[in-house]
Chains A and B, each alone.
Chain A
Amino acid sequence: MSIIELNDVSKIYGFGDATTVALEEVNLSIDENEFIAIMGPSGSGKSTLMNVIGLLDRPTYGKYMLSKRSVDKIRTNRRAKIRRDTIGFVFQSFNLLPRLTVIENVALPLAYKGVSLRLRTKLAENMLERVGMDDKKYFYPNQLSSGQIQCVAIARALINSPKIIIADEPTGNLDTTSSRLIMELFSDIHKTGSTVLLVTHNPEITRYASRVVYMRDGSVVLDEKSAIGDIAETAKKTIYKKRPKKTIDDDLAGISAIMDSIPQKSPNKKQTTKKKTKTTKLRKNKIKRKK
């Protein structure tokens, strides 16, 4: 049963000459309890896609159904509440509020929901225990390592038992050991029945995913199933093209390798023979103007 359904979703930033097409007619259907890794070069629209799915942003065109309900016309306040109750976010950096302690950070979504201090402290303690951070509950974020910060951020994302977890490059700032720890947490979350969407540059991470979505220039260019435990096929190519070593340089090489190995986006060879929509017209106009 699909929990997320995107139909021709486009997102255009800016006006006039300075427009950027961040998403172009994206069609995506995600079932409950999928673990989706999203890969693609920088600027390909991964974050924009996460923000649209996470109700932080509205698509310029297209339809978005969350749990079978259209969410396009929902007011900002109502969106905030849906976000609070059904979606958990983990970002690459600056996840925690610096003026709050670890436990206060984790309990914050419950506070916005109106849960009493006693109950939310107890729930937050349980959650911190689950991610192995209960001994740091009275620390402030600047007293933690970046791996520990991500653990706490995950605890906070989980506190409302959301159906969907959205993580935008959660391991982007972490070393291999911390990354593995964090990924084990996401894997656990996935096992408890949540739907996980995780943006990454690291092909290794596709081991945890049941499906990998590749993006380029605002479009989904490839969508492949992947057995959990194995690196996805396309992602694998990117690794073994170069030396099979695990260094930061390698990761960077991996990124460019991804660009080489994932299919090019070509407007002429669209998957379906749909009529040209506003987005493509807009893009054409832009090209004309440049000439």
Chain B
Amino acid sequence: MNIPYRDDIFLAIRTIRKTKMRSFLTVLGIIIGIVSVVTIVSIAKGIETQVSNQINSIGKNLIVIRPGRINQNNSNSLINSLNTLSNANSSSSLSQADLNSVASTGSIAESSAINVVNGTIKTNQGSFSESVLGTSNQFPSVINQQLAYGEYFNSSSTDIYQAVIGQNLAYNLFGERIPLGQSFTFHGQTFIVRGIFNKFNAAPLSITADYNNSIFIPYYTAEALTNSTAPINEILAKANTNNNIEGIVKTINKNLLTLHGDQQDFTVLQQSQSLAITTSVLNSITYLIAIVAGISLLVGGVGIMNVTLVSITERTKEIGIRKSIGATNYQILIQFLIESSVLSLFGGLLGVILSFLVDYIIGATTSLTPLINLPILVIAFLLSLTVGIVFGSLPAFKAARKDPILALRYE
């Protein structure tokens, strides 16, 4: 780097160190802007990572069939579809016939429908309204999930009122960590807890139900309780291969279309798509907050511009001296651009430090796991640098064009 510019950097840093309070107040807007950008992006990044971890643990060969049509090109309708999906009361366009069709597709090893049974659960701790899902025996294997304790339904048992619970419910419903053998009543029947799932790798915003807060009962029990009226929330199917999942999805879609009289009122998804959906939902949220962040960066930039303009008037004499000893206009311009950039980067640095703190608090108090990675830091750096250069240029041009005579006469 050219030598005087390196000096300018050191001088700018020295000035900030000498005028800490003033510099801090100047860059407050930048700090707020950078904190919002970094926090939002890191939360999004965290969710994305959680979703992709979930996919990896479930397996790439899982195919999900959902009622309703999801338009993947439009993020707004995506959010709407997500809302309807999470609504267990929605009537489903999927039927037992669909499950049979899926199960009989070549390359599908195992499958399970998930029926939603509404109702209130009563335990000795009180009443709850957790979601109760009817599944087949193959469910744990389809989604690649082990039980922590006990076993999944034993179909040879004559007792059809058995249940397996998600990990979070153990304490919430029964007040103990391993409530094996405990009972609850649902639709007038007494169910015995036979197993407890390992913790699911649940990702916020993901389109799968929150299995950690669900109760699983056999599908035939669900049918018995509801006279076969429990809507199918989704059908899960596991291919016996990781190759050509796309082809299998197409085959399933074709078969189901025939069953549905050519009505595309369902959607066949593979895991990579569920990541895409999450990402696009996140993107639309991120854009929104980016505007807010942009505004605070704008305010921060104007703050820097204002302070630099004042400082240039204060330092008119300095500019005159510098020019008299041979500084070119360009060298003066660069000096002031460097000063505003260093100031802005200082704000960016404080913003990043604060973001780590904010993310730590978010991680500790919510189910989100914000993730600050190198690209986010690079974005923060470039953003602050840009603000410094953009809002520093007007003052810097003014400084560079000062007439040395007037600058020297200035008192």
Residue A84 interfacial (CB < 8 Å): yes
Inter-subunit contact A51/B2 (CB<8 Å):
no
Chain A 98-117 per-residue mask, 1 if CB under 8 angstroms from chain B, else 0? 11100010001101111111
Question: Is A282 an interface position by the 8 A CB rule?
Answer: no
Q: For the complex, is B294 an interface residue (Cβ under 8 Å from A)?
A: no
Report how far A84 CA is from B331 CA in the complex, Å: 13
Chain B residue with Cβ nearest A88: B325
A4 to B231, CA, bound (A): 101
Shortest C-beta distance, A233 to chain B (Å), equals 33
Distance between Cα atoms of A109 and B326 in the complex (Å):
6
Within 177-219 of B, Cβ neighbours of A (below 8 Å) are at none
Q: Produce 1/0 per residue, B153-174, CB < 8 A to A.
A: 0000000000000000000000
Is A116 in contact with B3, judged by CB distance below 8 angstroms?
A: yes
Q: Which residues of A contact B323 (CB under 8 A)?
A: 56, 80
Assembly CA distance A183 to B15 (angstroms): 35
Q: Which of A36-44, A89-97, A209-217 contacts B (4 or more CB under 8 A)?
A: A89-97
Complex Cα gap A84–B327 (Å): 7
Interface residues on B, range: 20 to 34
Q: Is B408 within 8 A of A56, CB to CB?
A: yes
CB of A47, distance to nearest CB on chain B (Å)? 8
A112–B327 touching, CB < 8 Å: yes
Query: Which residues of chain B (299-326) have a CB below 8 Å from chain A?
Result: 317-318, 321-326
Q: Are A111 and B317 in contact (CB under 8 A)?
A: no
Beta-carbon nearest neighbor of A48 in chain B: B405
Q: B249 to nearest A CB, angstroms?
A: 65
Residues from chain A with a CB closer than 8 A to the CB of B325 are 83-84, 89, 108-109, 112, 156-157
* Chain A residue nearest to B330 in the complex (CB): A77
Binding site for A on B (CB under 8 A): 2-4, 6-7, 11, 14-15, 18, 317-318, 321-331, 404-405, 408
The 24 listed contacts between A and B (C-beta, < 8 Å) are A51-B405, A56-B324, A56-B404, A56-B408, A57-B405, A76-B329, A77-B328, A77-B329, A77-B330, A80-B329, A84-B325, A84-B327, A89-B324, A91-B321, A91-B324, A97-B318, A97-B321, A98-B318, A100-B11, A111-B3, A112-B4, A112-B328, A113-B326, A116-B3
20 further interface pairs, Cβ-Cβ under 8 Å (given A112-B331, A114-B4, A156-B325) = A56-B405, A80-B328, A84-B327, A94-B317, A97-B318, A97-B322, A98-B318, A99-B11, A99-B18, A112-B4, A112-B325, A112-B327, A112-B328, A113-B326, A115-B3, A116-B3, A117-B3, A117-B6, A117-B7, A160-B326
